[in-house]
Amino acid sequence: MTGLRARQKADRNRRILDAAAVLFREVGYDSARIEDIAERAEISVGTFYNYYENKGDILLATVSMEVEEVLTAGRTIVDNPPLSVMGALDALIGEYYDHSLFYLSKEMWRTAMAIAIQQPESPFSKRYTELDRRLCDQISTLILKLKAKGVVALDIDAEAVGEMFFNNLNMMFTEFAKRETMSLDDLKARVSRQNRPLATLIAAR
């Protein structure tokens, strides 16, 4: 039932995504012109705008692919976490952070974050926000799991605590993306220190 039209559409969409990913990597987001992306994807500029609302959308599409991978990696850790609050948090957050610079540069992250904030109604911004929510849920799920394992006290509001850990790690990642000099190790160390009080206090005793 896949008519010619549907097939061509999927094909063009993939060509655009590939072309954009290559160009962003090669010359950075700002210097990649729509005209160049279109040329490489063998379509016209106008057609680009039939597939994506604006230049930012195509970057967020790229980022989305990346975050999906992190979520998958995180699931493995949540399913079988280290049996201490700090240990589990460091493992999961370390996974997020280590993965983050694999495909994307700090500059690309900054641009993606900026767009997600600035145009919250665009489809890919919604998708980006949705991914954030799933990351946040994953942290809450980890706390729940630790509760089930007797590592975290039973009277703790796992959702509230999870949200606080997540907002903290997310804000710190933004900080990291802003400072070209800050290393992944700096980032992890600072977040670890920030997490420690809450992590210690929610431990079952």
Partner DNA sequence: AAAAAAGATTGAATGAATTCATTTTTTAAG
Partner DNA sequence: CTTAAAAAATGAATTCATTCAATCTTTTTT
Please work out, in degrees rounded to the nearest 5, the angle formed at the alpha carbon of residue 111 by the alpha carbons of 108 and 112: 85
User: In angstroms, what is the minimal distance from the CB of 143 to its own copies?
Assistant: 10
Residue 85's CB is within 10 A of a number of other CB atoms, namely 25
Instruction: Give the binding range for its own copies (CB under 8 A) out of 38-46, 63-71, 96-104, 108-116.
Output: 108-116
Closest to its own copies by CB, 155 vs 185, is 155
State the binding string over 176-205 for its own copies (x if CB under 8 A, else -).
Answer: -xxxx------------xxxxxx--xx---
Identify the residue whose tokens are 């930012």.
56
Query: Dihedral of CA 146/151/155/161: which sign?
Result: negative
For residue 15, what are the CA distances in angstroms to 68, 92, 119?
A: 20, 34, 25
Closest to its own copies by CB, 92 vs 161, is 161
Identify the residue whose tokens are 């007797």.
150
User: In angstroms, what is the minimal distance from the CB of 151 to DNA?
Assistant: 48
DSSP 53: S
Two tokens, residue 59 = 């970057």
* Residue 118 found at the interface with its own copies (CB under 8 A): yes
Which is nearest to 94 in space by CA: 204, 153, 173?
Answer: 173
Where along the sequence are the contacts to DNA (CB under 7 A)? 3-6, 8-9, 12, 31-35, 43-47, 49-51, 54-56
Two tokens, residue 138 = 């994953």
Closest to DNA by CB, 7 vs 178, is 7
Closest to DNA by CB, 15 vs 190, is 15
Closest to DNA by CB, 8 vs 167, is 8
Binding site for its own copies (CB under 8 A): 110-111, 113-118, 120, 129, 156-157, 160-161, 163-164, 167-168, 170-172, 174, 177-180, 193-198, 201-202
